[in-house]
Amino acid sequence: MAALLPLTLFVFPSLLEEAFFRGVLVPRDILESGAARATGAVAISTAVFVAWHPFNALAFNHSAIPLFLDPWFLVMVCALGITCGYSYVVSRSIWVPVVIHWATVTAWVLVFGGRNLVLEL
């Protein structure tokens, strides 16, 4: 099971969340519309990304409630959202934020002892 964890974390949350929160909510060429519009798009996608976590816990994944409603966790989610949003705007590739998201979550779970909500180890 542990061997599947990095692959599983690549698909969900990384690929699926980034495809929606960056790929759908932030136009690929938003930077051509100016820095202010790009900043606004990243801010909106980050706000929705942060709000998704408590909603997900309350609606679908009750075991995640203590973590996904923790203010410090939500601050980290916000920082990740800004980083992934900015990387998408600059690179214009969904793969850059996917890899950032995947590396962050994988390191958090496997290296720093974070809570694994995909496969319980």
pLDDT single digits (tens) 39-63: 999 999 999 999 999 999 999 999 9
Helix orientation angle between 35-59 and 71-91, rounded to the nearest 10 degrees:
140
pLDDT, tens digit, 9 for 90 and up, residues 83-99: 999 999 999 999 999 99
The pLDDT value given to residue 1: 61
Q: Report the sign of the C-alpha dihedral through residues 14, 16, 21, 27, in that order.
A: positive
Q: Are 61 and 117 in contact (CB under 8 A)?
A: yes
Q: Are 101 and 80 in contact (CB under 8 A)?
A: yes
Q: What are the C-alpha distances in Å from 104 to residues 59, 109, 119?
A: 24, 9, 17
The pLDDT value given to residue 121: 39
